[in-house]
Structure formats: structure tokens, C-alpha cells
Amino acid sequence: MQQVLLIGIGGFFGAIARFLTSKYTSGFLGNFPLGTLIVNVIGSFALGFIMYSVLNDSRLISPEFRSFAAIGFIGAFTTMSTFAYESFRFIDLRDMAMFGLNFGSNLILCLLAIYLGKVTALLIGGIIK
């Protein structure tokens, strides 16, 4: 029951953080969905860091914090469905340049962020051990 509560609290804060990020970044790049890109990249980095910290048998992150952060906060903070919708809207609008930019930047930057989170976790784990 404690794990479910931690996930719910994390989800609450993740959803609020997502809303605020999108609210304060909308319009920076015209109609490009910058908020979605930002939350997906930050969330990918954080997830890479958390999961590789856990897999590295590091004591940096407790199982309780992993549930709170990875499943709750990041699960509510990142948004694959919004990314898919925003990408498809560019197809509807026949704006293939924006579709390509949105699709490519989310895919490449999120994979890069996972890698950077992994490297960071492994470096920190190696330094502390």
C-alpha cells in the first residue's frame, strides 16, 4: 500500500510539473510543441539515471524513491500520447517540416538523454563505491 501511495504522490507532482512546463514554454518557438519536448527529454534523462542507478546496484536510490520518481513522477511528467498527437497534427496541417523536426528531435534527444542519465548514474555510482 505504501508503494501505491508513493506512486500516486509522485504522479500528482509530475502532472503539475508537466502542466507548468508546458504553460511557461508555449509560444517560445511558434507552434512547435517545446513543452512536450522539454518534459520528454528531462524525463528521459531522469529515468535513465534512476534505472541505471538501480541496475548498477547503487545505494544512491532506494526502491521507494524509484517507485515515487520513475513510475509516479516521470510517468505523469512525460507524455508519449501528447507527443504522438502533436506530431499527427502537423501531418493534418500538411506541415511535414514541423512534423519531422518534432518527431526527430523527440526521438534523438530522448535517446541521448537516456544515455546521459546512464553515464551520469554509472559515474556517480563508481565515485561513491
* Residues 52/122, Cβ–Cβ less than 8 Å: yes
**Residue 53: what pLDDT?**
81
**Residue 81: what pLDDT?**
84
**Residue 12: what pLDDT?**
98
**Residue 14: what pLDDT?**
96
Of the CA atoms within 13 Å of residue 29, those in its CB half-sphere come to 12
- Alpha carbon distances (Å) from 116 to 64, 70, 94: 23, 16, 34
**Residue 69: what pLDDT?**
92
**Residue 114: what pLDDT?**
95
Q: Which domain holds residue 35?
A: 2-128
**Residue 39: what pLDDT?**
94
**Residue 107: what pLDDT?**
96
pTM: 0.84
Alpha-carbon distance of 70 to 77, in angstroms, equals 10
Q: For 1-129, where are the alpha helices, taking DSSP H only?
A: 2-25, 34-55, 63-66, 74-77, 80-92, 96-128
Tally of domains within the chain: 1
The residue type found at 102 is: N
Taking 50 as the pLDDT cut, the residues of the chain under it are none
**Residue 43: what pLDDT?**
94
